[in-house]
């Protein structure tokens, strides 16, 4: 029982550490999912395990992006210490790793050794496990092929890929009016005509945001809140859509921007009240982005995501080598 309590306290500390860091960034006016990509260092895209090519997801995206910009790394690739060694390289002496995490569950045991039960089911308790990764910029002797990301600001290249994703989803998009929104009751998206946007790419950023809401329909990921505008649940959904669209933009090679900064106060209230809220929102945002990216042909969609919701095959490889 003592070890079980230690695991739970360990996870609670991690929730608090990450949440406090994100709150501090929001209070300073910086959104962790919208960063200065125009500094010419890191290539747009989602962080990946450089060995397995799998995308990290959920809160790990925010953690790794934050480190990426804070330290000025140029690569979106990451490896554990042992993965680097297994690939014939080594982490340079004195380099500081970055803590990421994945979620798991365990079954508590009572004093008699039996599983603690709720009704007829054995009760399971969720916890987070930490592990340390290093950016490829911190590693020597490892040669990996670059991830399939787009390194261009040319809208003639970016727009067709974004349009291909939009078309592939099959979403009903009604063009007209002055407002952009998703209507769950009729399952359609409304957006103003492209010509009213000063920069054409902004029309696509807007549609990707609304498509993230579209992914939450009960016939898809079944995530949308039952409450309306101004409620905490509505603010959480907007937080998910903000992050989800940023993840989509980055993976499509489009610089993410802010659409609803007026929700900043509501987001801060949600995060201050619940240290796990940003983890849940980031997880849901990743699920939405993965769902939508799944409509792209394999050659365009990149690698399978590595989630923190459970142990994927890449997680298993990490545990063997870490």
Based on the domain organization, do 257 and 293 belong to the same domain?
yes
pLDDT of residue 140: 96
Which range of residues forms the domain containing residue 29? 2-147+312-321
- What's the average model confidence in pLDDT over 139-162? 77
Six token digits for residue 133: 């990764």
Whether residue 17 is contained in a domain is answered as yes
pLDDT surpasses 80 at 9: no
Quick check: helix, strand or coil at residue 105?
Answer: strand
Instruction: Encode pLDDT of 265-301 as tens digits.
Output: 889 999 999 999 999 999 999 999 999 999 987 655 5
- Quote the CA–CA distance of 137 and 145 in Å, as a whole number: 14
- What's the average model confidence in pLDDT over 214-242? 91
pLDDT of residue 283: 95
Six token digits for residue 30: 């910086």
Whole-number average pLDDT of the chain: 83
**Residue carrying structure tokens 């002496």:** 93
Based on the domain organization, do 186 and 205 belong to the same domain?
yes
Six token digits for residue 235: 């603010």
Q: How many CB atoms lie within 10 A of CB 47?
A: 28
Six token digits for residue 86: 């297994």
Based on the domain organization, do 170 and 290 belong to the same domain?
yes
Whether residue 307 is contained in a domain is answered as no
pLDDT surpasses 60 at 119: no
Whether residue 258 is contained in a domain is answered as yes
- Quote the CA–CA distance of 36 and 44 in Å, as a whole number: 11
Based on the domain organization, do 77 and 175 belong to the same domain?
no
Whether residue 247 is contained in a domain is answered as yes
Whether residue 88 is contained in a domain is answered as yes
Q: With cut-offs at 50, 70 and 90, classify the pLDDT of residue 41.
A: confident
- Higher confidence at residue 28 or residue 215? 215
Whether residue 18 is contained in a domain is answered as yes
Q: With cut-offs at 50, 70 and 90, classify the pLDDT of residue 122.
A: low
Establish how many alpha carbons lie within 13 A of residue 56's alpha carbon, considering only the half-sphere containing its beta carbon: 26
Based on the domain organization, do 128 and 163 belong to the same domain?
no
DSSP for 49-63, please give it: ETTT-PEE-THHHHH
Based on the domain organization, do 138 and 164 belong to the same domain?
no
- Quote the CA–CA distance of 180 and 62 in Å, as a whole number: 26
Instruction: Encode pLDDT of 76-91 as tens digits.
Output: 999 999 999 999 999 9
- Higher confidence at residue 35 or residue 217? 217
- pLDDT over 90 percentage in the chain: 54
Based on the domain organization, do 172 and 138 belong to the same domain?
no
Please tell me the total count of domains within the chain.
2
Based on the domain organization, do 171 and 113 belong to the same domain?
no
Based on the domain organization, do 191 and 127 belong to the same domain?
no
Based on the domain organization, do 128 and 161 belong to the same domain?
no
- Quote the CA–CA distance of 34 and 246 in Å, as a whole number: 7
- pLDDT over 70 percentage in the chain: 78
Q: How many CB atoms lie within 10 A of CB 230?
A: 8
Based on the domain organization, do 102 and 181 belong to the same domain?
no
Q: Which of 117-126, 137-146, 169-178 has the lowest mean pLDDT?
A: 117-126
Based on the domain organization, do 281 and 162 belong to the same domain?
yes
């Amino acid at each position: 029982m003592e070890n079980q309590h230690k695991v739970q306290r360990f996870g609670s500390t991690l929730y608090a550490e990450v949440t406090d860091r994100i709150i501090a960034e929001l209070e300073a006016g910086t959104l962790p999912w919208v960063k200065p990509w125009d500094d010419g260092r890191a290539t747009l895209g989602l962080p990946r395990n450089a060995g397995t090519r799998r995308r990290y997801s959920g809160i790990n995206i925010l953690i790794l992006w934050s480190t990426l910009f804070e330290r000025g790394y140029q690569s979106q690739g990451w490896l554990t210490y042992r993965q680097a060694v297994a690939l014939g390289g080594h982490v340079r002496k004195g380099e500081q790793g970055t803590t990421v995490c994945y979620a798991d569950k365990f079954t508590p045991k009572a004093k008699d050794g039996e599983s603690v039960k709720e009704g007829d089911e054995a009760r399971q308790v969720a916890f987070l496990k930490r592990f340390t990764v290093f950016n490829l910029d911190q590693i020597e002797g490892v040669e990996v092929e670059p991830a399939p990301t787009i390194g261009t600001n040319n809208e003639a290249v970016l727009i067709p890929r974004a349009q291909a994703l939009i078309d592939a989803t099959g979403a009903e998009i009604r063009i007209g009016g002055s407002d952009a929104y998703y209507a769950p009751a009729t399952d359609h998206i409304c957006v103003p005509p492209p010509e009213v946007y000063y920069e054409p790419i902004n029309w696509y950023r807007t549609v990707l945001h609304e498509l993230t809401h579209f992914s939450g329909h009960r016939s898809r990921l079944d995530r949308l809140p039952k409450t309306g505008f101004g409620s905490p649940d509505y603010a959480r959904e907007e937080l998910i859509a903000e992050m989800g669209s940023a993840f989509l933009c980055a993976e499509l090679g489009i610089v993410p921007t802010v659409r609803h900064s007026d929700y900043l106060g509501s987001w801060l209230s949600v995060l201050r009240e619940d240290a796990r809220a940003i983890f849940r929102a980031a997880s849901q945002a990743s699920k939405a982005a993965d769902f939508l990216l799944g409509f792209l042909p394999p050659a365009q969609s990149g690698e399978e995501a590595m989630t923190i919701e459970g142990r994927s095959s890449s997680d298993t490889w990490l545990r063997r080598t870490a």
